[in-house]
Structure 1
Amino acid sequence: MTTITVLGNGRVGGNLATALTRAGHEARVADRTPGAAADASRTAQIVINATPGAGSLDRLGALREELRGKILIDVSNATVDGPDGLPADLVYPGSSLAEQLQEALPETRVVKTLNTMLFPVMTAPATLTQAPEAFLSGEDPQAKQTVRELLITLGWRKEWITDLGGIHTARATEAAILFVPHLIRSNGLAPFAITIAH
C-alpha cells in the first residue's frame, strides 16, 4: 500500500483518489488551503498534481520543502483557454509544466504521465475499444518504475506504458493537449487517449 496525496479536488483529482483507494492505496485529496496541502504532501510517499495547470507552478513551488525527496506525478497540462473554455494554447511554449516543476523543485522527482487522455481513461484504460497508451517522462528511472507499477494497479497493462525518456520529453505530450478541443468538438466528450499505433 502506498500513501498518496492528490492535489486538486476537481474531476481529475477526485477520480484518481477514488480509483487509487479502490486499488488498495491510502489516497486522499488535499484541501485547497495552503496549510492543508502542505500537511497532506508532507505525510505522503507520492504526490499527484491534478491542479489546473496554469497555476500549478505557483501552488507547488510553495511546497518545496514538503515535496523534497518525494515522487511528484504531474498529470496536468498548462494551457491558455479559448473563449469556449477549451485549451487554445500552451502556457509554456518551447517547454512544459513538468520541466518547469522539475526546475523549481530540484530535490523532487517529477514524473509526467496520464496527460494525453480524457480523465475517465486514467483509471479505466481497458474501457476503450483500442489499446490506449500512457507515456512517462522524467529524470529518475526508479521514480518512473514506481509510477509504472502504480499505473498497473489502476488497470494499465505493461505494454500500454511507454517511457519516453527525460523530463524534456513532456513538452511533446503536453503539446498533444491542443488536439483535445478539436476532438471534443468533433466527437463530444467521449473517452479517448492519444496513442501510437505500433
Structure 2
Amino acid sequence: MSTIAVLGNGRVGGNLATALTRAGHEVTVADRAPGAAADTARSAQIVINATPGAGSLERLITLREELRDKILVDVSNATVDGPDGLPAALVYPGSSLAEQLQDALPETRVVKTLNTMLFPVMTAPATLTQTPTAFLSGDDPLAKQTVRELLIGLGWHKDWISDLGGIQTARATEAAILFVPHVIRSTGFTPFAISIAR
C-alpha cells in the first residue's frame, strides 16, 4: 500500500483517486483551498498531477519542497485549446510538460504515464475491445517500477505497459494528444486509447 496524493479533483483526478483507493492505497485529493495542495503532497509518498496541463508547471513549482524526493506521476497534457474547447496545439512544442517539470523539480522523480487515452480507460483498460498501451517515461528506473506496479493494480496487464525510456520520451506521448480532437469529432467521447499493435 502507498500513500498517494492526487492534485486535481476533476474527472481525471477523481477517477484515479476512487480506483486507487479501491486498490488498497491511502489516497488524499487536494481541493482548491489555499495550502491544500501543499498539505496533501507533504504527507504522501507518491503525488499524481491531474491538474490542467497548461497551468501545471506554475502550480507545481510552488510545491518544490513538498515534492522533494517524491515520485510525481504526471498524467496531464499541456495544450492550447481551440474554439471548441478541444486540444489544438502543444504548450511546449519540442519539449513536454513532463520534461519541464523534471527540469524545474530536479529532486523529484517524474514519471509520465496514462496521458494517451480518455480518462475512463486509465482505471478500466480491460473494457476496451482491443488491448490498450500505457506508456512510461522517466529517468529513474525504481520510480518507473513503482508506477508500473500502481498501473497493474489498476487493471493494466504487465504486457500492456511499455517503458519508452527517459523523460524526454514524454514529448512523443504528449504529442499524441493532437489525435484526440479528431477522434472525438469523428466518433464522439467513446473511451479509447493509443496502443501499439505487435
What TM-score comes out, normalization by structure 2 length?
A: 0.99
Q: Deviations over 1:57-104 (max 9, x none)?
A: 000000000000000000000000000000000000000000000000
User: What amino acid does structure 2 have at the position aligned with 1:29?
Assistant: V
User: What amino acid does structure 2 have at the position aligned with 1:22?
Assistant: R
Q: What is the match of residue 39 of structure 1?
A: 39
| Aligned-residue RMSD, C-alpha | 0.5
1:7 pairs with 2:21: no
Q: What is the match of residue 102 of structure 1?
A: 102
Q: Deviations over 1:104-135 (max 9, x none)?
A: 00000000000000000000000000111000
**Matching of residues 109-120 of structure 1 within 5 Å:** 109-120=109-120
Q: What is the match of residue 79 of structure 1?
A: 79
Distance 1:180 1:104, change over 3 A: same
Runs of 4+ in 1 over 2 A off after TM superposition: none
Partner of 2:66: helix, strand, or coil?
coil
Identical-residue share of aligned pairs (%): 85
* CA distance in structure 2 between the partners assigned to 1:59 and 1:133 by the alignment: 29
Q: Deviations over 1:31-80 (max 9, x none)?
A: 12341100100000000000000000000000000000000000000000
Give ranges in structure 2 of 5+ residues lacking alignment.
none
Give the aligned length: 198
Partner of 2:68: helix, strand, or coil?
coil
**Matching of residues 165-184 of structure 1 within 5 Å:** 165-184=165-184
* CA distance in structure 2 between the partners assigned to 1:110 and 1:7 by the alignment: 14
Q: What is the match of residue 121 of structure 2?
A: 121
